[in-house]
């Protein structure tokens, strides 16, 4: 889709998988969340309005920029404030990029045809107002429906994380279901991601199509035959810390794929705010803990 927009994005160098692998090696396998929901914002002594959310967000940007492998802003908490909230999100993405920190925008988009193509253009194109390094996608209109966004991500050196096994109990009714060939839906999503990562896997690199797999899903990966090592892409793993996943849980859930794990932590890190120094220190502490857990 051609566009007349003038975006502020600069084309990244190399693939997303390459950049993420390097960032994880340098800073530890942590993706720190920026989740300015009412409870967290007010716990910092801030008002839950645009000014308070701006203070919260930019404190996180200052603390995390240059200190962690990746940062994951949750788009919904910015969208609730309308155009000014989205402008704040774009500012955060831009400043994190300037700090040399990868961003994973949590938008969980999923649609068909020209609509998913437009979502890709909004977040992954070279003309996006403030493109993320990667976005989250939902495959439950069929993995193939995501093709325009995945192809655009590959073309622009960006990445995607596709929902596979989420930690919410409602997800199991879809993700655990079996297809006619006996594979689980989650397993089929992993197989499709593996196909998209085949070229990177052949080079011995981390692919740019990742999966979202909760650290709290228990034995589901094994029970459903989800081939995480064979998928050969990064695994965004929420659930460590505040959601209750332990080191033993992580090792059990991701056995054989631990080097691919990028742990996502929001509340566990954000509770250390509002002081920038304390927030940065907690992020680094959690990153060190996760590195020890996921060491092969």
Residue ranges covered by each domain of the chain: 16-294
pTM, entire model: 0.94
What CATH number was assigned to the domain covering residues 16-294? Answer: 3.20.20.70
Q: Could you give the CA distance from residue 15 to residue 189 in angstroms, rounded to a whole number?
A: 21
Residues whose CB falls within 8 Å of the CB of residue 232, separated by 6 or more in sequence, listed in order: 194, 197, 198, 200, 201, 206, 207, 260
Output the pLDDT for position 61: 98
Helix 113-124 to helix 147-156 angle (10° resolution) is 30
Q: What percent of the chain has pLDDT over 70?
A: 95
Output the pLDDT for position 286: 92
Q: Mean of the per-residue pLDDT values for the chain?
A: 93
Measured distance between the N- and C-terminal CA atoms of the chain, rounded to whole angstroms: 43
Bridge partners of 102, per DSSP, are 70
Point out the catalytic residue in the list 72, 84, 108, 126.
Answer: 108
pLDDT tens-digit profile of 7-24? 445 667 899 999 999 999
pLDDT higher than 70, residue 173? yes
- At 122, list the tokens: 């909004």
Q: Annotated catalytic, 126? A: no
């Amino acid at each position: 889709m051609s566009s007349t927009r003038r975006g502020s994005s600069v084309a990244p160098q190399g693939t997303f998988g390459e950049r993420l692998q390097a960032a994880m090696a340098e800073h530890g396998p942590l993706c720190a969340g920026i989740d300015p929901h009412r409870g967290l914002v007010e716990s910092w002594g801030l008002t839950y309005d645009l000014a308070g959310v701006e203070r919260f967000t930019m404190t996180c940007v200052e603390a995390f920029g240059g200190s962690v492998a990746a940062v994951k802003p949750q788009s919904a908490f910015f969208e609730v404030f309308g155009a000014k909230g989205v402008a704040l999100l774009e500012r955060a993405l831009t400043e994190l990029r300037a700090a040399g920190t990868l961003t994973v925008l949590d938008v969980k988009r999923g649609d068909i045809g020209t609509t998913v193509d437009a979502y890709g253009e909004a977040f992954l194109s070279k003309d996006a107002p403030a493109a993320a390094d990667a976005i989250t996608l939902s495959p439950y209109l069929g993995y193939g429906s995501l093709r325009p966004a995945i192809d655009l991500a590959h073309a622009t050196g960006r990445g995607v994380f596709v929902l596979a096994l989420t930690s919410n109990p409602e997800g199991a009714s879809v993700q655990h279901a079996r297809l006619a060939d006996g594979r689980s839906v989650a397993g089929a999503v992993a197989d499709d991601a593996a196909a998209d990562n085949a070229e990177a896997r052949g080079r011995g690199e981390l692919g740019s199509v990742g999966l979202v797999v909760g650290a709290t899903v228990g034995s589901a990966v094994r029970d459903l035959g989800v081939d995480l090592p064979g998928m050969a892409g990064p695994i965004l793993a929420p659930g460590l810390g505040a959601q209750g996943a332990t080191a033993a849980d992580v090792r059990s859930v991701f056995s054989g794929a631990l080097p691919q794990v990028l742990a996502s932590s929001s509340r566990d890190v954000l509770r250390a705010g509002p002081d920038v120094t304390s927030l940065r220190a907690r992020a680094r502490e959690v990153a060190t803990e996760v590195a020890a857990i996921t060491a092969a």
